[in-house]
Amino acid sequence: MLSRRRFTGLSMAALAAGCATGPAAAPEVLLYGGPIYTGIASRPQVEALHLRGGRVVFAGALNEASAGGARAINLDGAAAFPGFIDSHVHLMGVGVAALTLDLVGTPSIASLQASLAAYAQAHPQGPILGRGWIETHWPERRFPSRTDLDAVVSDRPVILERIDGHAAVANSAALALGGIDARTPDPEGGRIERDSAGAATGMLIDNAAYAVQARFPPPTQSQQREALAQAARLYASRGWTGISNVSTTPTEEALFRELAASGELPLWADLYMEPDAVADAMTRQARVGMNGHVRVCGVKLYMDGALGSRGAALLAPYADAQSDGLLVTPVDVIRAQMRQARQGGYQVAAHAIGDRGNRLVLDAFRDTFADDPAALRTARWRVEHAQVLAPDDLPRFAQMGVIASMQPSHAISDLYFAPARLGPDRLAGAYAWKSLLESGAVIAAGSDAPVERGDPLIEFYAAAYRHALNGFAGPDWRLQEAVSRAQALRMLTLGGAFATFTEQERGVLDVGKRADVSVFSADLMQAPFEQVRDARAMLTICDGRVTHDAL
């Protein structure tokens, strides 16, 4: 979220290891009656799965299964898979979206104005915060402006975030609240868009929005708790059994632990903290241990902005603008943070989208471990997004042992406008999943919700089919970068486990592994892609406990 892009110095503490089980005992379950995919190449499919004590105790032929006192669940043709893991999500953002003006799918500036007018009438007091618009399909062919918002609401502050969270539009009242006028300089790591006369248009890129957002009242703690609980339930209902929650605040960490302790957290939550919060979180975890399914893994850092708002840092200027993007964090600062992370012995997850942003991060990773390059492979540091890569940098992920934490749905959203932003030559390294895998890199797939919907079926569809949800694919979408269904499954299961050092526990369905199972109405490995797109989660089991049941 834009409001989290605050970077300060930090001291580091050691990372405690392992995940504890939740407070309630897991029931004994026998699954049968549909294809059960294990994620294991030597034995990809079985007829029956027996779960006991939160573990897989049998995976094999139905006539060899011994049900005992297990609850027998007939899948009735639905297909079971290892538990799906969203390797990049802002779960609080998913929940908080319900408390703000939802602009996802807004088709035009006129429609945005109508939605704002309706919301303002229904909420007649206080500032207005919204999120979800994206201008790339709008008939107006431009960003919204303060005058667009002023025409609807001029008597109180309004700020509406772009769907990627890297840009926002503010009305005049919000700009005044943040002290932004024609004389205000661009902040480090941000840009105030201006008209030909130098006046602020209302568009605020990356860190420029913080001056306004910091003046808006945050949700109360009770609202945040309910938002997080609702989002967790929603995620279980979609088939997720685990998440990497990025840019986690101390309040969110405490709420994750509270929900886990009360049995209200239906998934594994690996947390990557904000830079100024990670030291305390690590110390606290080492002192009190882990609560249910919650573990602090490391820190989320930011190198650049997003492609849609032209904040992603590029090696050459954008094809459709003079800018070459933004560095959200100064290079010397992010390098210092990485050195401290290594000293503290915990994992770094670094946001990088543009080819320059990715190169700077990879160079910083390399230099942080210059005395012992093999230790970087052991550390499993991650690049979050890795969307646009220069040809020379693509093989470095495998060579250095860096994990590419990527979101397949970004491609089928961004490829409508990415060719205009990048030009034809740079598309060769954009959303290059197949090339990364063929180079030997590990991809951990996620959604970046609420930037995207947060649906595992959409992520699988995008990875293996690389078409928009309406079936469209443009001539420059580079469909050869789609992966096989088996690779897509691995990216969304074992890849996420590997990225959090839990591949010995999760990621495949094998005897002794955690009983994490995602069941969908369509056979993702066989069904036509339109059926994959339209499928739904039928059963979700996390650590042996049924967290969603629609059978």
Range with top average pLDDT, 18-22, 135-139, 151-155: 151-155
Q: Copy the structure tokens of residue 535.
A: 């499928």
Confidence of residue 277 (pLDDT cuts 50, 70, 90): confident
Alpha-carbon distance of 431 to 414, in angstroms, equals 10
Of 98, 57, 86, residue with least CA distance to 500 = 86
| Domain of 120, in residue numbers | 93-213
Q: Is residue 341 part of a domain?
A: no
Q: Is residue 453 part of a domain?
A: no
CA neighbours closer than 13 Å in the CB half-sphere of residue 131: 22
DSSP per-residue letters across 4-61: G---------PPP------SSPPPPEEEESS-EE-S-TTS-EESEEEEETTEEEEEE-
Phi, psi of 208 (to 5 degrees): -65, -25
pLDDT on residue 18: 33
Could you tell me what percent of the chain has a pLDDT over 70?
A: 94
Alpha-carbon distance of 283 to 262, in angstroms, equals 22
pLDDT of 10 > 90? The answer is no
Confidence of residue 68 (pLDDT cuts 50, 70, 90): confident
Q: b/e map of 199-236 (b: 16 or more CB within 10 Å)?
A: ebbbbbbbbbbbbbbeebeebeeeebbbbbbbbbbbbb
Residue type, 8: T
Alpha-carbon distance of 53 to 519, in angstroms, equals 20
What is the total count of domains within the chain? 1
Confidence of residue 99 (pLDDT cuts 50, 70, 90): confident
Residue type, 365: F
Q: Is residue 121 part of a domain?
A: yes
Q: Copy the structure tokens of residue 407.
A: 């979101």
Q: Copy the structure tokens of residue 534.
A: 């339209």
Q: b/e map of 157-188 (b: 16 or more CB within 10 Å)?
A: bbbbbbbbbbbbbbbbbbbebbebeeeeebbe
pLDDT of 133 > 60? The answer is yes
Where do we find the tokens 């059978």?
551
pLDDT on residue 27: 86
Q: What average pLDDT does range 339-365 have in this prediction?
A: 96
Residue 413's CB is within 10 A of a number of other CB atoms, namely: 22
Q: 49 forms bridges with which residues in the sheet? A: 31, 59
Q: Copy the structure tokens of residue 38.
A: 């294990």
CATH number of residue 119's parent domain:
3.10.310.70
Residue 359's CB is within 10 A of a number of other CB atoms, namely: 19
pLDDT on residue 287: 63
Q: Copy the structure tokens of residue 429.
A: 């390294």
Q: Is residue 119 part of a domain?
A: yes
Do residues 461 and 520 make contact, with C-beta atoms less than 8 angstroms apart? no
Query: pTM of this prediction?
Result: 0.87
Alpha-carbon distance of 98 to 95, in angstroms, equals 6
pLDDT on residue 166: 87
Confidence of residue 180 (pLDDT cuts 50, 70, 90): very high
Confidence of residue 62 (pLDDT cuts 50, 70, 90): very high
The alpha carbon dihedral of 373, 377, 378, 381 has a sign of: positive
pLDDT tens profile 468-488: 999 999 999 999 999 999 999
Alpha-carbon distance of 197 to 342, in angstroms, equals 47
Q: Is residue 324 part of a domain?
A: no
One-letter-per-residue 3-state SS of 55-110: EEEEEECHHHCCCCCCEEEECCCCEEEECEEEEEECHHHHHHHHHCEECCCCCCHH
CA neighbours closer than 13 Å in the CB half-sphere of residue 336: 11
Sheet of 128-133: strand order equals 101-102, 128-133, 158-162, 167-170, 200-206, 190-194
Q: Is residue 255 part of a domain?
A: no
Q: Is residue 178 part of a domain?
A: yes
Tell me the average pLDDT of the chain.
92
SS3 216: coil
pLDDT tens profile 500-540: 999 999 999 999 999 999 999 999 999 999 999 999 999 99
Contacts (Cβ under 8 Å, ≥6 apart) of 329: 7, 189, 301, 302, 303, 337
Contacts (Cβ under 8 Å, ≥6 apart) of 427: 418, 419, 476, 478
Of 91, 94, 73, 87, residue with least CA distance to 519 = 73
Q: What average pLDDT does range 121-128 have in this prediction?
A: 92
Q: Is residue 479 part of a domain?
A: no
Quote helix, strand, coil % in the chain, to nearest 5: 35, 20, 45
